[in-house]
Amino acid sequence: MTNKIFKQVRKWLSFLITVVLFVSLVFTVFITISTKASGGEPEVMGYQLKAVLSGSMEPDIQTGSIIAVKPGGDMTRFQEGDVITFLNENETLITHRVSDVIQSGEHVMYETKGDNNNAVDPATVLSDNVVAEYEGFTIPYLGYVVTFANSQAGSAMLLILPGILLIGYAAFTIWQALSQIELKKPAESKAQEAVEQK
């Protein structure tokens, strides 16, 4: 009875490991391909995934997390309290909260501030430099993976490593199956000998 339960548990564990490895392979392929296709940032159902590399928006947005932002639309629509992703003067993407909206003729500019910063950002943001709106979706720590996936070494490794793990696991499973067959052969031979002696 115990042996039967052990075999059942091992069978389910084997299935679970296979599923986890397969899902991780599909996920890493998706992240890598969508990153390359979108020119740097993966995209899911119209949302871009951005890696957060600083703690300026903590505690709501943790360093090393990824956030989903919605690009497009009228970039003059934002109000005080909205969180936007924009290009600063150094062409770096930043996600900060709008602290004030400044109307200057036909132009709309935003004063922004990181929730964890003591002061507002030194430069106002022209609405033309806003690329997306943050709508509250974040996954902690996954930003490190996305940043790594954007590098050449990361792209290669994330595509190759799950494949190697799957091949290794398949080889291990085949080796186990062959071992079981080899163990059964001597037992069957002994049983055959016993029958012949009778």
Neighbours of 32 (CB within 10 A): 19
Neighbouring C-alpha atoms within 13 Å toward the C-beta of 131: 17
**Six-digit token string for 158:** 């994330």
Q: What is d(CA 113, CA 71) in angstroms, rounded to the nearest whole number?
A: 20
DSSP E strands, the chain: 43-44, 47-51, 66-71, 83-87, 93-104, 107-113, 125-126, 130-139
Q: What is d(CA 96, CA 129) in angstroms, rounded to the nearest whole number?
A: 13
Q: Which residue in 54, 56, 155, 179 is the catalytic one?
A: 54
Place of tokens 């052990």: 6
Q: Output b/e per residue, 147-176; b: 16+ Cβ within 10 A.
A: eebbeeebbebbbeebeeebeeeeeeeeee
What does the DSSP 8-state code read for residue 151? S
What does the DSSP 8-state code read for residue 91? S
54 noted as active-site residue: yes
Catalytic residues, by residue number, are: 54
